[in-house]
Structure 1
């Protein structure tokens, strides 16, 4: 089940300046994250802080089955969000679900002007941008698994590179 806040009036800021009831968006923020890495730590605290500020936020709370395709409801939530906050963590790229979300987010950036705010959670920006270390390992596995559909894996790579090339916020230990 997904978590959303029911608060309708947003704080004033340049990106989130009008009440959601007056906009075409159902959510101000869509959170994309790798559950096993950050669900009960950073992402949960981020979600709570956004809701406390009155920002209507979508966070998928379901533990997902490996290999299961992205649900139509999740695609709809992405399309109905003004901004995506993407928490890029160690195992993000190993999740085909996360990568499918990223492709949908990238489409919304192009088609509807969605804003994107990537957060590198304990990751080096160059490892994400250039898909090294755990990101490289993940794509080796995707290439094996999707050898008959390399276009899919390449689409995931491209979406990850685009997101990582945005201005990113890097959150590290200490």
Structure 2
């Protein structure tokens, strides 16, 4: 498996990667996600991307689970064929787990899809999940796995993020990179006010701002400027 990350030094406070990209390679690897990855590393943001373009197995690998656990910010890129990949969906389940248990930030990107289609699993997302369900019939473990996917999709789609349907991609990517940079700087500066090992207060404070909705991004920026 070929895996890439930017060459900058490891992110402090116990994280190896500042950003983890979760995406459907067939849809966006050589377009939007590839350009986003380059923009992030050009800003010196240590970013994980699975650069394996070969046919992958049905289940997520231990090396990818480790990379998820060592990442601080997650960017799931929801595209039209995203839910057709059990690999993407398994990654998303682990990402939401890190969001809940460690206060990691999740910034969903809705690339050419409506957020409600992800949230309620209809249109292409509903069709893909129906195919998975037919494939999983008579397998209790996989049916439970399918339910985990549905919950993860719903929870991720309820987080504040970005929706792209038309316009200049480079401007859209620039806004995402700007947002990520502000979050990294905000968390790093705020964490510095706490003794080593006491990360939960600043992390949870930033996460709560994320959960409140897009308007609260302004309050997060103000918080960073005041530190």
Please report how far the alpha carbon of residue 159 of structure 1 lies from its aligned counterpart in structure 2 after TM superposition. 0.5
CA distance, structure 1, for counterparts of residue 60 and residue 109 of structure 2: 22
Residue deviations 1:99-126 (CA, integer Å, cap 9, x gap): 0000010111111111100000011111
Q: Which residue of 2 aligns with 1:155?
A: 148
Structure 2, gaps ≥5 residues long? 168-227
Match in the other structure for 2:115: 125
Which structure is richer in relative contact order (CA contacts within 8 A, separation 6 or more)? 1
Q: Secondary structure at the match of 1:40?
A: coil
Asked whether 1:141 is paired with 2:131, we answer yes
Q: SS at 2:131's partner residue?
A: helix
Q: Decide which structure has greater strand share.
A: 1
Q: Which residue of 1 aligns with 2:6?
A: 5
State the structure with more CA Rg. 2
Q: Could you tell me which residue of structure 2 aligns to residue 53 of structure 1? A: 43
Runs of 4+ with deviation above 4 angstroms: none
The 5 A counterparts of 1:23-38 are 23-38=13-28
Q: Find the partner of 1:42 among 27, 32, 52.
A: 32
1:55 counterpart SS class: coil
SS in 1 for 2:110: strand
TM-score (norm 2): 0.69
Match of 2:163, SS? Answer: strand
TM-score in terms of structure 1 length: 0.90
1:63 deviates by 2.2
Give the CA deviation at 1:64: 4.6
User: Structure 2: how far apart are the matches of 1:2 and 1:136?
Assistant: 30
**1:58/1:77 contact within 8 Å kept:** yes
